[in-house]
């Protein structure tokens, strides 16, 4: 069966520090991968998505970047965190055939 | 641009009453449309998708291309339906969600 792992679950980082959130998928190949930020009142904001290794589409200009070094690995990064980067980040993958998306447990990031 | 709009952030109805969660979409092509639900302390999960034309937990959603809407309906609400509901569209592998509607069913 397919599973998605996202870590860490919570993270507290100082302003100006780097960030690396990792997401891996098991049990499938060549998935579409997504990073979202979930905020109260603003729903799920699509940040990045990827349809293949090395292929990244950025939706919102910001202080973050994404990379897909392997087929089932999707990484969200920042060189220098801002206070405004605080939030709840969700990783997801979707199946090409049914288009259903499956979500990770999320990471609560607090920048202090 | 691909966009999904849910005009109601909060919706509260009594148990047994009908429920309708509104969703409008915009996309230059023909997107696939979905409703996702997030129950308390659970992951976001698929509720239903337009292409399956299914009814899940008593919910249905009808695509109206003229009004570009995909409203979610249930004739008789139950307390366990209380959750956060997101409408979503998939176009060219890009999955976009609306702002979400928090549905509360009062006993």
How much is the pLDDT for A95?
Answer: 78
Cβ atoms of residues B22 and B98 within 8 Å: no
Q: Give B57's pLDDT tier (boundaries 50, 70, 90).
A: very high
How much is the pLDDT for B56?
Answer: 87
Q: What value does the mean pLDDT take over residues A3-18?
A: 95
| For residue A98, cis peptide bond before it (omega within 30 degrees of 0) | no
With pLDDT > 70 as the criterion, what percentage of chain B qualifies?
A: 100
Segment (H or E) for A107: strand A107-111
Provide the b/e sequence for B16-42 (b: ≥16 CB within 10 Å). eeebebbbbbebeeebbbbbbbbeeee
Chain B residues in contact with A100 by the CB 8 A cut-off are 34, 46, 49
Distance of alpha carbon A107 from alpha carbon B44, whole angstroms: 14
Q: What value does the mean pLDDT take over residues B76-103?
A: 94
Share the mean pLDDT of chain A: 91
Q: Say whether pLDDT at B53 is over 80.
A: no
Q: What value does the mean pLDDT take over residues B61-90?
A: 94
Convert the pLDDT of each residue in A21-69 to its tens digit: 999 999 888 999 999 998 776 789 999 999 999 999 998 878 899 999 9
With pLDDT > 90 as the criterion, what percentage of chain A qualifies?
A: 76
How much is the pLDDT for B48?
Answer: 92
Distances (CA, A) of A2 to A5, A26, A33, B51, B55: 10, 5, 14, 22, 24
Contact residues of A toward B, CB < 8 A: 32, 34, 36, 41-44, 46, 49, 51, 57, 59, 90, 92, 94, 98-101, 103-106
How far B93 CA lies from chain A's nearest CA (Å)? Answer: 7
Q: Count interface pairs A-B at CB distance under 8 A.
A: 53
SS (H, E, C) chain B: CCEEECCCCEEEEECCCCEEECCEEECCCCCEEEEEEECCCCCCEEEEEHHHCCCECCEEEEEECCCCEEEEEECCCCHHHCEEEEEEEEECCEEEECCCEEEEEEC
For residue A88, what are the β-bridge partners? A38, A108
Whether B44 has its CB under 8 Å from any CB of chain A: the answer is yes
């Amino acid at each position: 069966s397919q599973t998605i792992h996202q870590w860490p679950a919570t993270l507290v980082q100082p302003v100006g520090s780097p960030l690396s959130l990792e997401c891996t998928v098991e049990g499938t190949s060549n998935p579409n991968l997504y990073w979202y930020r979930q905020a109260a009142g603003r729903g799920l904001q699509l940040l990045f998505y990827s349809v293949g290794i090395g292929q990244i589409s950025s939706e919102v200009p910001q202080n973050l970047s994404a990379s897909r070094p392997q087929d089932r690995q999707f990484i969200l990064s920042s060189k220098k965190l801002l206070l405004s980067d605080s939030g709840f980040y969700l990783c997801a993958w979707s199946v090409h055939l049914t288009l259903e998306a499956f979500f990770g447990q999320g990471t609560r990031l607090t920048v202090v | 641009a691909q966009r999904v709009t849910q005009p109601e952030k909060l919706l509260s109805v009594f148990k047994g009453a009908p429920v309708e969660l509104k969703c409008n979409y915009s996309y230059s092509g023909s997107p696939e449309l979905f409703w996702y639900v997030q129950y308390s302390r659970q992951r976001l999960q698929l509720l239903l998708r337009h292409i399956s034309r299914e009814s899940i937990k008593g919910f249905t959603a009808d695509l109206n291309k003229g009004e570009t809407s995909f409203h979610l309906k249930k004739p008789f609400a139950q307390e366990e339906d209380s959750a956060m509901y997101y409408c979503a569209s998939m176009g060219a592998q890009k999955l976009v969600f609306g702002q979400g509607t928090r549905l509360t069913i009062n006993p």
